[in-house]
Homo-oligomer: A and B are copies of this chain.
Amino acid sequence: MKKIAIGIDIGGTNTVIGAVDQDGNVMVNRSMDTPKHDDFEKYINDLSGEVKELIKSVKLLNEDITILGIGVGAPNGNYYNGTIEYAPNLSFKGVVHVVDALKKNFPDSYAIALTNDANAAAIGEMVYGGAKGMKNFVMYTLGTGVGSGVVVNGDLVYGHDGFAGECGHTMLIPGGRLCGCGARGHLEAYCSAPGMKRTAFELLALYNAEDSLLANRSFNELTSKMIYEAAVKGDKIAIEVFEKTGEYLGQGLADTVHHLAPEAIFLFGGPTAAGDFIFKPAYESMNRHLLPIFKDKIKLLPSKLKLGDAAIVGASALVWKEIEK
């Protein structure tokens, strides 16, 4: 008998659903448009229909299958209440009770649970990825924003209200860059993909770098991928963008270590594809910012989750953790 967990990733544009086995392989997946269902009741019913179709198609592959449950990753997802609360980029507003609604439609599931996307990635790393067997680690997800998930004594830290792990909004440079949340100087404004672009534009301005490969792109054109490609070609500005991003990130990671003394910090997301360009300066900076008792002891590791399906794989991992309890 093969055991399967369903992972659902609710995003502003698409909702992606996958059937994931115990090794973290996505057996089948489906996708639906999120904003077309702005009535939450209709959204959940359509989503449940998609999940039922998914289960049908998995059972075509292998009849001897048990579906253990459903894990959901969503922005502003609250684990304790099973709710999404005031997510700025989703079409349904206010507080919506996702887990309760799914439980009505799937009364036979052993476990249905929800958390935010970065927490789901951390659980995914613990269940299927590089954090297997680790009891204390932290996951940083670098993308449009910077998310994080904190694991202590083998359990994800949700905090008092379910919203722990917002390390992207810790203070990096008081009075510094405007952050998407409206405050200034947060880590996210420096270490996200758009943060890297902002660093590139600062450096172009600083050095008047007309000969940089990045000098012919508008602010709205430039991506972190282009910065990586330029760095590979030896572009000095691009290389310095990574060095500065690593320096910024390492300062923030050291603060996380000083709170939690984890065994390792994992980095996930587009900018981490640059490998040593980002990992080397980030590790060097983290280590330099640490108290002597922590120096050379904390690992900085790339996530082992595949970028493409990490969101549903992470969400599905919630199910295995729930069943463990």
A293 contacts B by Cβ under 8 Å: yes
A272 within 8 A of B: no
Type the 1/0 row for A63-87, where 1 means its CB is closer than 8 Å to any CB of B: 0000000000000100000000110
Do B259 and A291 have beta carbons less than 8 Å apart? no
Copies in the complex: 2
Inter-chain contact B255/A170, CB cutoff 8 Å: yes
Interface size on A, as a range, is: 35 or more
What chain B residues lie within 8 Å of A76 (beta carbons)?
293
Interface of A is mostly: loop
Does A256 belong to the interface (CB within 8 Å)? Answer: yes
Contacts of A183 in B (CB 8 A): 289, 291
- Chain B's closest residue to A255 (CB) is B170
Q: Which residue of B lies closest to A134 (CB)?
A: B160
A289 contacts B171, CB within 8 Å? yes
Partner of A262, one of B160, B169, B171, B254: B160
**Contact between A171 and B251, CB atoms less than 8 A apart:** yes
Closest chain B residue to A76, Cβ basis:
B293
> Taking the complex as formed, is A102 at the interface, i.e. its CB lies under 8 A from any CB of chain B?
no
Do A163 and B85 form a contact, CB below 8 Å, given A153-B155, A251-B174, A255-B255?
Answer: no
Residue of B with least CB distance to A157: B152
CB contacts under 8 Å to B, within A259-308, are 259-263, 289, 291-294, 297
User: Is residue A258 contacting chain B, with contact meaning CB distance below 8 A?
Assistant: yes
